[in-house]
Amino acid sequence: QVSYTAITIHTENLAKIIFILKAASDAKYENVDLYAPPAFVRGMTKLNREAFKKSVSVPALRVKKEIINKLMKSLKSVALQRPGVKRVVEDPNDENHKLVLLDPYKISTGVSFGEPEKNVLKEHNVSAEIHKYNLEMTYENFKCEEILRAVLPEGQDVTSGFSRVGHIAHMNLREHQLPYKHLIGDVIIDKNPGVTSVVNKTNTIDSTYRNFQMEVLAGLEDMVAKVRENNVTYEFDFSKVYWNPRLSTEHERIVQLLKSGDLVFDVFAGVGPFAIPAAKKKCIVFANDLNPESHKWLQHNCKLNKVDQRVNLFNLDGRDFITNIVKGQLTKLLNTGTEQNCGIHIIMNLPALAVQFLDAFKNLLEEPDTSQAVLPHIHCYSFSKQDDPAEDVMKQAEDVLNCELRRHCSVHLVRNVAPNKEMVCITFQIPGEVIFQKQKASKGKLYLSF
């Protein structure tokens, strides 16, 4: 059942209403491409900023100079907002007035104003009559995405997104964007204050050293970046080490699990995003990375953040670090014969390979005499392309360790790294039957969690 509502319109008002609706409709239609750069820039591969000049007609309100400041706050929501464009300009026809430029997508006629704006205009005796102002737009007045959409082939994806690493903008351009790569780099620098270098990744991450080949698209060749994450400062050569600003939340999540005095082993430490915050929290840290450049900058960052006395640094293969350094420290801890009050955390952030290193913990230690041994908690990262990433990563770890973990672990989805590809962290306390060489058949044996 359908009901209809009828409205009565007097004949003398009908023509006026039709005129207003048509004007609004025409204005909206005319303004669809108002902020699009000139059509002839399509296909440009070398940036010519002068080619982006364009003249557009925008609505304006004539206001007396002495009341401009009183009105602007109330008109802010309908005023023109474009990069580098002044919203208040001189009235070329009247030196006692100024023109307030309005957003053509919101205001086309005097009746377009909302009640709040109408009341303010009435209060200050300002006419709602709309005037036309010829605005000369230049390259500076267009947004990054508008420029790239105008230049790149029509109908293809436009990218203006990037990862910010200090002064460096890191992009992952697609094949169809490569002919325009240098222009894209120039535009990114122009439209993002503080960015002085733009790079594009030219291959996948190297599994050994976790860095990748990159090409400088625009700006400086200087790749030594300075970043601040979770109140910690890091410096490093971005072209030679691994750094991902999208992992800031994950770094913080793990560090929040730590307590002062805990023992932390960072198997693939990079430049220190886990190790240094852990040391600042007064944990005892053993940090390792195979990449000599990562090791160098890790050492530098420890000194920079004044935690070098609490971080023990190593430049070893991850497996060697586990079977030598981790084993040695845990053996020493177990042989003290005293009650263990500290937690033990082993961080393995190498998603492409870390799970494969878990077998290094098999039979790593001799079983201690104490029944109060604290077993390490492992935080191991992996990638998954399965429909159930948590189940997949759990099974990966169980297959390597040859034991059941599902009742004794937690799985955290870190981030989506690509379509159908998730980065996942599995956290579990390593079972005694895995890490100890001999398991005594004492039913009273208890390995404590923390």
Q: Is 349 labelled a binding residue?
A: yes
Burial class (CB in 10 A: 0-12, 13-18, 19+), 67: middle
Is residue 277 within 8 Å of residue 230, measured between CB atoms? yes
Write down the number of H helices and E strands in the chain. 12, 17
Q: What angle, 0 to 180 degrees and rounded to 10, lies between the N-to-C axes of helices 144-151 and 181-191? A: 160
Is residue 37 within 8 Å of residue 147, measured between CB atoms? yes
Is residue 399 within 8 Å of residue 387, measured between CB atoms? no
Is residue 80 within 8 Å of residue 102, measured between CB atoms? yes
Q: Give me the sheet containing 311-314, strands edge to edge.
A: 311-314, 284-288, 263-266, 344-348, 377-384, 421-429, 409-418
Segments in 173-307 forming alpha helices (H): 181-191, 248-256, 275-280, 292-304
Nearest to 434 by CA among 402, 393, 391: 402
Q: Is 103 labelled a binding residue?
A: no
Q: Is 161 labelled a binding residue?
A: no
Within 8 A by CB and 6+ apart from 441, the residues are none
Distance CA 344, CA 340 (A): 10
Element (H, E) at 215: strand 214-219
Q: Is 166 labelled a binding residue?
A: no
Q: Is 289 labelled a binding residue?
A: yes
DSSP label at residue 323 = I
Task: Mark the binding-site residues for S-adenosyl-L-methionine, compressed into ranges.
Answer: 251, 289-290, 317-318, 349
Task: Mark the binding-site residues, compressed into ranges.
Answer: 251, 289-290, 317-318, 349
